Amino acid sequence: MNKIGLVILNFLTYEDTLESIKTLDKTLVKNVDLKIYVVDNKSDSNKFKELQENIQDMNSEFDITYIASSENLGFAKGMNIGIDKARENGCNFVICSNNDIIYNQLIDFNKFIEIFNKDNSIAIIGPKILSPDGINQNPYMLKNQEKSSLIKFIKHKLIFSNIIGKLVFFIFGYKNYFFRNKIKNVNTELIPSQYIYALHGSFMIFTPSYFKFYNNLDPNTFLYNEELILAERVLQKNLKIFYTNEVTVFHKDDSSTNKMLGKNSFKKLNFVFRENYKSRSYFLKEYIWNKK
């Protein structure tokens, strides 16, 4: 029988983790063998204990393992702790979820298994992910936009391989933030289920085909660009990524970074640009420029 591990990565916002599990308890079609792993990045022992007590008070039938990390390992390394434990416990499907994912309608995790059973070349599956403003965050990237043209290669080399390029990246980042187009994004909710290049990283399902080649996520980024790294990893092994609009989850978006750094604060903007630059530089060097 297929066994699913749900890895929830918590950082600071314990109330979001509690809400995520509470809403899942109310909406999950419980015909699956599910085990939940809550990984707490830079754990506050008192709050983590309180979270566990609050979840116990729910009287849920969920089988939950709590894992505390003494430091904030970031997204990939934090998720890897849970992924490794889930696979050690025999989970052949692993869902990686932000802790600010909530479930407002019935959800059946078996649908992901059914999709994989129809095509075993699928490595990662993602559902419809609705943001607070109703925008579907999936697909993250419908088609591969990372194919290197000479112009793009030169542009990326100039920006992501020297200190002047880094400064330009920050300047344009601030410019785009403060003078960004106020027109509302196009709602992609009606995009049909299909094979795509990259999924949004807040909720992803890894299949047995992914684990034939990779133990977990690439641990060399702290935050951001995990979606593109995964897309290239999948392509390297001639596997596929699939988006389904038949399953929906809801994403609060940025709750942990907002709590840590302050929403719309200069400190948060600087953190976002810095980590994006580091992650994109790594992605380009390891997965695009050095592509065999």
State residue 183's pLDDT score: 41
Burial 187-200 (b: 16+ CB within 10 A, else e): eeeeeeeeebbbbb
Pick from 111, 135, 137: which is nearest to 125 by CA?
Answer: 111
CATH class of the region 3-289: alpha beta
Per-residue pLDDT tens digits of the chain, which is 292 residues long: 799 999 999 998 999 999 999 999 999 998 899 999 999 998 789 999 999 999 999 999 999 999 999 899 999 999 999 999 999 999 999 999 999 999 999 999 999 999 999 999 999 999 999 998 889 999 999 888 766 666 677 777 778 888 888 888 778 777 776 665 444 444 455 789 999 999 999 999 999 999 999 999 999 999 999 999 999 999 999 999 999 999 999 999 766 555 555 566 767 788 888 898 899 999 999 998 877 5
SS3 state at 209: helix
Q: Are 125 and 204 in contact (CB under 8 A)?
A: yes
Q: Which residues have CB under 8 Å from 289's CB, separation 6+?
A: 148, 153, 157
* Residue extents of the structural domains in the chain: 3-289
